[in-house]
Chain A
Amino acid sequence: MLTQATFDFIDEVDRLRDQAALVASFQKVVSGFGITYFMVGEPKPPATPLTENDGHIWGTTWPSEWLSRWTTRNYLQVDPVVRHIRTHNRPLRWSALEGASDDPGKRVMLEAGEFRMHGGYTVPIYSRDGLAVAVSLGSEHYELGKREEACLHMASIYMHATLERLRGRYARPRGPKLTNRERECLSWVAAGKTDWEISQILKIAEQTVHEYVQNALIKLNATTRAQAVAIAILTKQINT
Chain B
Amino acid sequence: MIEVVTSRNALLYRDALEEMFRIRHRALVEFQGLERLRRADGRLTDRFDTDDAIHLLLTGDDGAVRGGLRLLPTTSPHVLSEILPQLCDCKGLQRDPKTLELSRMCIDPNLDFAARELGRNRLLVGLVEFCHRTGYERITLLIKTDTLYRHLLIGLDIKPLGLAVDRDGLKQLAVVVRVTDEALDALRQALAVRESEIHYVGAPHEDALVLGPAARWPLAARL
Among A7, A90, A125, A151, chain B packs the most CB atoms within 10 A around the CB of A7
Chain B residues near A162 (CB-CB < 8 A):
152
CA distance A11 to B150 in the complex (A): 18
- The smallest beta-carbon distance between B6 and chain A, in angstroms, is 31
**Chain B 143-162 per-residue mask, 1 if CB under 8 angstroms from chain A, else 0:** 00110111011110101100
Interface residues on A, range: 35 or more
Which residues of the other chain, A, contact B171 by a CB distance below 8 angstroms?
90, 153
Give the docked Cα–Cα distance between A11 and B114 (Å): 36
Known: A165-B153, A234-B194. A221 touches B145 (CB 8 A): no
**A125-B149 in contact given A11-B159, A151-B163, A221-B117 (Cβ < 8 Å):** yes
Q: Do residues A7 and B91 form an inter-chain contact, with CB atoms below 8 A?
A: yes
State whether A150 touches B164 (Cβ < 8 A). Answer: yes
Cβ B90 vs Cβ A161 within 8 A: no
What's the Cα separation between A177 and B116 when bound, in Å?
20
Mark interface residues in A27-56 (1 if CB within 8 Å of B CB, else 0). 000000000000000000000000000000
In the assembled complex, B192 has its CB within 8 A of some CB on chain A? yes
Main secondary structure of the interface of A (DSSP, over half): helix
By a beta-carbon cutoff of 8 Å, the part of chain B in contact with chain A is 90-91, 114, 117-118, 121, 145-146, 148-150, 152-155, 157, 159-160, 163-165, 171, 173, 186, 188-192, 194
The 10 closest A-B pairs by CB, nearest first: A161-B152, A150-B163, A171-B153, A231-B192, A234-B192, A173-B192, A171-B154, A157-B149, A221-B114, A171-B190
> What are 11 inter-chain pairs, A to B, with CB distance below 8 A?
A3-B163, A127-B149, A150-B164, A153-B164, A154-B163, A158-B152, A164-B153, A171-B190, A221-B118, A231-B192, A234-B194
11 extra interchain contacts, Cβ-Cβ under 8 A, other than A150-B164, A170-B154?
A11-B159, A126-B149, A153-B171, A154-B173, A157-B145, A161-B149, A165-B153, A171-B150, A171-B153, A172-B190, A221-B118
